[in-house]
Amino acid sequence: MSKVLVTGGAGFIGSHIIDHLYENTDWDLILLDRLSYAGSLDRLAKYRNDSRVKFYFHDFRAALSDSLINKLGKIDVIIHSGAETHVGNSLKDPEPFVQSNVLGTFNMLEASLKLRPKYFVMVSTDEVFGAAPLGVDYKEDDSFNPTNPYSGTKAAAECLAKSWAVSYQVPLILTRTMNNFGERQHCEKFIPMVMQKVLKEETVVIHVDKQDNPGARKWLHARNHADAILHLLKNGLIGTWHIPGIEVNNLEIAQIIADCIGKELKYELVDFHSFHPGHDLRYSLDGQKIEKTFWYPKLKFDEAMKETVKWTLEHKEWINA
């Protein structure tokens, strides 16, 4: 393989994919992005004059034109990581999520029929399964139960990708991941938001159930996510794969951040989920399938969290602080 196209390459996860592939392969990297509010070329400033990394401005809610297809040339891998991702935003205005996640995926799948890559990687989410009861870790073939416009559009995008894989032989590697964290994350996400609150000595709202049990996720550094994608590509592992992380509840995450900053955590427990359907208390994926291929996350959670907080404190422009 020699040339990889990454959608959403100026986004948080996309930029970490670019970084990881740049450092661990000799592949040429093309990023496709419309530079929405969540996309920023500042994440990729170090590649500004690097011939291995090229940027094309394109909104994949529109079809890729023949002229753009010709400019891209031979593409060996498409990594479709671009998406609208924030649940709260999807509840306020679902249309951009339908446009980006459903129509955008359709347009990239159609482009793949012209570009004919060796692999089409579709980056999806744990949220397609809906809330996970305590003790339940969803496996790759479990049934969908999306509960908000974001997860519904990602489930629809998965269905499109899987049907293109069968009908048009698109060589699909479909990954589902959980809460990614790391450097350069948009400030609307939980970890940067908590950092903002702690630094300003403001109260952090922690969503809980009626018994005051905090919401929980599995947390994965974005570079571990990128490393798993590279592992699947290098081994030609077509199919559906879960890339989870370490389960930690939201109160514990907030306390870890406050401890790293060296400030007291002020927090309030709020039974948000009972009154706001669509916000799920717990998500969880089973990662046994990818573990059987001998892939394990290289960056350990505790150290990665400390490094993320340290880096962000040194680059407060990313949290508007």
Query: Distance (Å, rounded) from C-alpha 77 to C-alpha 117?
Result: 5
Q: Does residue 277 surpass a pLDDT of 90?
A: no
SS3 44: helix
Q: Two tokens at 188?
A: 């609307």
Q: What is the CATH code of the structural domain delimited by 187-216+248-279+300-319?
A: 3.90.25.10
| 127 noted as active-site residue | yes
Residues 6+ apart with CB under 8 A from 123: 13, 79, 80, 81, 83, 175, 177, 229
Which of these is catalytic: 28, 33, 84, 127? 127
Rounded to two decimals, the pTM is 0.95
Which of these is catalytic: 47, 119, 138, 150? 150
Question: What one-letter code names the amino acid at 100?
Answer: S
Question: Dihedrals φ, ψ of 185, to 5°?
Answer: -80, 145
Q: Does residue 10 surpass a pLDDT of 90?
A: yes
| 37 noted as active-site residue | no
Q: Is the Cα dihedral 82, 272, 268, 177 positive or negative?
A: negative
Q: Does residue 321 surpass a pLDDT of 60?
A: no
- Structural domain boundaries in the chain: 3-180+218-246, 187-216+248-279+300-319
Q: Are strands 77-80 and 204-207 parallel, antiparallel or unpaired?
A: unpaired
Q: Two tokens at 260?
A: 């790293």
Question: Dihedrals φ, ψ of 281, to 5°?
Answer: -75, -40
Domain 3-180+218-246 has CATH 3.30.70.260: no
| 268 noted as active-site residue | no
pLDDT per position as a tens digit, 37-56 = 889 999 999 999 999 999 99
